[in-house]
Structure 1
């Protein structure tokens, strides 16, 4: 994804921020930017520019801004940023086609069966409590969508190293043996 497309997304996000939300973002950035420089910032796009200059925001590193947007209770803007990152993430750093097919099967089955215990799996996959909370805010009333989001974030973090065997081990590690068995059966039946 080009930097001009990334800048368009940032400008769009900036235009949707209220003055109060901009103040909250600036407050959250105090440690990164400093009070004197923060006083000069009067728009979202200027804030994003300064974050970029300080290597806290780029087209390949949108997580800090996504977390800030979640912090001011704007998951819609965070999702817009994550959608941009999702488009660019599936270019180079992904498992081969056969493994991606297995991961899709795994995602579907785990989302259907995991339920309220998704956080336990998230911890086993190495996510922090803050990241798990961020994931839960994206789909607060839909457990299946929350699990899909969890697995999407895991795949993004693992890149080409994302493997279904790692998911099966994590499921077994948090005592979801039935789900792990179902997944192994479904993969065997699919010929994957």
Structure 2
């Protein structure tokens, strides 16, 4: 993936930072950059350029900025940065899945979203998603549980990439004692195959 795609992500993050959040990030970096240089920086874009020049930021080196974003309570932007794929030829997760697997995952997502409700976090943990990720999902959809479940499964699919399989979802549902939902997923898959 080209550096222009990574720069587009950085620009988007820069545009979403408030002036206070930018000041807070600059404060956290005062030992690394120096007061005089920091005073000249007026945007996230300019700050990210300094990070890049000093070897602290790149398409394959995102942890430093990601950590700073967490410190200023922008978990959503930290997740956006972490989810950027720098490997050539990688598009979205779904274009790496064959059509049959994608159809199965889409159907399973629909069934789970309709049936999961308030217990979505338990499934998220069982699928191996971090608490930070779960908090970010919750913040994006605080009242719509069905959308929350869809977002949860989208994040799981992104984390698993081409290895995402419906069987893993069913195992996780059963491990959480969500057997009725697991049965409904299996029934929907059986109707897909006939």
TM-score category, normalised to shorter length: 0.7 to 0.9
Moved more, 11-20 or 146-155: 11-20
Give the distance between the partners of 1:174 and 1:82, measured in 2 at CA.
28
**Structure 2 residue aligned with 1:88:** 91
Contact 2:75–2:132, Cα closer than 8 Å, also in 1: no
Greater Rg by CA? 2
Give the paired residue count: 185
Q: Distance in 1 between matches of 2:125 and 2:44?
A: 33
* Cα distance in structure 1, aligned partners of 2:75 and 2:130: 18
* 1:88 aligned counterpart, secondary structure: coil
Question: Would you say the 8 A contact 2:10–2:48 is kept in 1?
Answer: yes
Alignment of 1:79-158 (within 5 A): 88-90=91-93, 94-158=96-160
Whole-Å separation in 2 of the counterparts to 1:114 and 1:100: 20
Distance 2:171 2:51 in 1: 38
* Root mean square deviation, CA, Å: 3.3
Q: 1:121 touches 1:174 (CA, 8 Å); kept in 2?
A: yes
What whole-Å deviation, never above 9, does each CA across 1:107-151 have from its counterpart, x for those lacking one? 111111101000000010012222211221111111111111111
Q: Normalization by structure 1: what TM-score?
A: 0.77
1:35 maps to what in 2?
A: 31
- Which ranges in structure 2 are unaligned for 5 or more consecutive residues? none
Residues 70-110 of structure 1: per-residue CA shift (max 9 Å, x gap) = 6645577678768976x932376x33221111000011111
Give runs of aligned pairs for residues 160-171 of structure 1, distance below 5 A. Answer: 160-171=162-173
Q: TM-score, normalised by structure 2?
A: 0.76
Match of 2:192 in 1: 190
State the partner residue of 2:7: 7
Q: How does 1:61-80 map to 2 (within 5 A)?
A: 69=69, 72=72
What is the rounded CA distance, in whole Å, between the counterparts of 2:47 and 2:134 in structure 1? Answer: 26
Match of 1:180 among 159, 179, 182: 182
